[in-house]
Amino acid sequence: MLDSVMKSDDRIRYATVCDLEGSVLGTKIREGIQPLLSEEEHKEALVYAINAMKIREKLSAKLGKNQYVLAVYENLCRMTMPIGNKYMLLLTWGPDTPLDILKNIRNALK
């Protein structure tokens, strides 16, 4: 899955899949990209994202199932997406990237 997502758009910097306990199952980093967060900071960010995803799940009966969450920072965009009921995908790309990237990502996951 990570390979197909990374191949779907050259603007994707970073992709990781983890379970809902925060255990990383796989990570791909685009060649030449330096991660902005340390490994410890990345794990902490995953825990926050997983907890937020669990909270959104509680509201899904009224709001519908979470498709993805996009956070836009000064230095990057970060998307989290549930994969089934047991996993989460986290992707990052540059802050000035047009949102057509979302279509490419979703097509790669079909």
Do 76 and 13 form a contact (C-beta atoms < 8 A)? yes
Q: Are 87 and 25 in contact (CB under 8 A)?
A: yes
Residue 100 lies in a domain: yes
Residue 110 lies in a domain: no
Domain span including residue 22 = 2-104
Number of structural domains, the chain?
1
pTM: 0.91
Q: Is 45 exposed, middle or buried (0-12, 13-18, 19+ CB in 10 A)?
A: middle
In a domain, 63, yes or no: yes
> Which CATH number does the domain housing residue 15 bear?
3.30.450.30
pLDDT score, position 110: 83
Q: Is residue 109 a part of any domain in this protein?
A: no
Distance CA 17, CA 10 (A): 18
110 residues of the chain, pLDDT tens digit each: 999 999 999 999 999 999 999 999 999 999 999 999 999 999 999 999 999 999 999 999 999 999 999 999 999 999 999 999 999 999 999 999 998 999 999 889 88
